[in-house]
Amino acid sequence: MKYAENILGTIGDTPLVKLNKLTAELPCLVLAKYETFNPGNSVKDRMAIQMIEDAEEAGILKPGGTIIEGTSGNTGMGLALGAVVKGYKMICVISDKQSKEKVDILKAVGSEVYVCPTDVAPDDPRSYYSTAKRLAKEIPNSWYVNQYDNPSNTKAHYLSTGPEIWEQTEGKVTHFVVGVGTGGTISGVGGYLKEQNPNVKVWGIDTYGSVFKKYHETGIFDENEIYPYITEGIGEDILPKNVNFDIIDGFTKVTDKDAAIYTQRLAKEEGMFLGNSAGAAIKGLLQLKEHFTKDDVVVVLFHDHGSRYVGKMFNDDWMRNRGFLDDEVTKAIDLIKD
């Protein structure tokens, strides 16, 4: 018989899928590392379990303990699955910017959820960051995960995602393109691929309102680059320890509108029902067109599933209200307004 010991045994070994229509204008082969096949529907299951197991081994997370993380969804889901299977209590601290569905999903897998105000500075005691830290101090036998600076995040991708891509492409991968948030995915996969072949180029996808691209190009942490944005999962207003800028060849920024439109296009034109950062990643890859030639094998990683975005990028009213749709209905509404 062939079966997994528990649900955690199904993490990883995700498929690589060729893109066809959206990439028709490119000379090269484009393959998507399709991470929604993980049990929590995102790539984050990999790093969540690595962080838990490394904390267990280091004696930081002890039997009956409580896992605490400031997370809006995917990492919380992965940690929650680990907590259920391994018998820990899970607390997710999230900001009120997140949708109700995300809170309900985390509760469905047994997590306790604290919702904190978004419009306060990170060092304000009410922020989700401060609340997570305070809870970790107050609750005995608890462990604060901190995915931004936790090295097990990058390690998970160095040990699993990177080797899978290398083997699945039989070492032919020439470019790796991926959205950057905590930096774990790009640093782990990019680091591994460059160790196998230093000629592999690693491109990060950033968003307008985030510091990464400017910092990579100039070494300057420019606060003017920071402003609110809609794209989910990528970009930061801090420099997480998990972003290894040395292994990144370049960043390209994608607008909120393009990321949302391409999230819809992936579903409608490729049958790939995915999250918002996948839309940003494929649009960013298309922006890099002049870097690719005929024999290149470009791998793009798609982080999470479309179901978490049904009330947003897959909802035409939501899209229209933000000026992201240029369709007939929008034009008719504009005419009435005029």
Catalytic residues: 44
**CB of residue 237 vs ligand PMP: minimum separation in angstroms?**
13
To ligand PMP, the closest distance from the beta carbon of 335 in angstroms equals: 37
CA 127 – CA 62 distance, rounded (Å): 27
Nearer to ligand PMP (CB atom), residue 50 or residue 66? 50
Outline where the chain has alpha helix (H).
Answer: 44-58, 74-86, 100-108, 128-138, 151-156, 162-168, 184-196, 212-218, 256-270, 276-287, 316-321, 328-337
Give the nearer residue to ligand PMP in terms of CB position, either 154 or 174. 154
Between 160 and 185, whose beta carbon lies closer to ligand PMP?
Answer: 185
Nearest to 303 by CA among 1, 104, 30, 40: 40
CB of 233 to ligand PMP, least distance (A): 3
Q: What is the H or E stretch that residue 18 is in?
A: strand 16-18
User: Least separation, in Å, of the C-beta of 53 and ligand PMP?
Assistant: 18
Reported as half-sphere exposure (CB side, CA atoms, 13 A), residue 134 has a value of 13
Q: Which residues contact 291 (CB under 8 A, 6 or more apart)?
A: 175, 201, 203
- Find, among 87, 82, 26, 2, the residue nearest to 297 by Cα: 26
DSSP-assigned states of every residue in 250-265: EEEEE-HHHHHHHHHH
Give the CA count within 13 Å in the CB-facing half-sphere of 2: 1
> In this complex, which beta carbon is closest to ligand PMP, that of residue 142 or of residue 147?
147
Q: How far is the CB of 322 from ligand PMP (least distance, A)?
A: 19
Q: Toward ligand PMP, which CB reaches closer, 65 or 240?
A: 240
Angle at CA 108, nearest 5°, toward 63 and 263? 115
Write out the residues near ligand PMP by the rule CB under 6 A: 44, 74, 179-186, 233-234, 275, 277, 303-304
The residue sitting closest to ligand PMP, measured at its beta carbon, is 233
Kindly state the smallest distance separating residue 226's Cβ from ligand PMP, in Å.
17
Distances in Å between the Cα of 274 and the Cα atoms of 52, 55, 304 are 26, 31, 6
Q: Which is nearer to ligand PMP, 143 or 212 (CB)?
A: 212
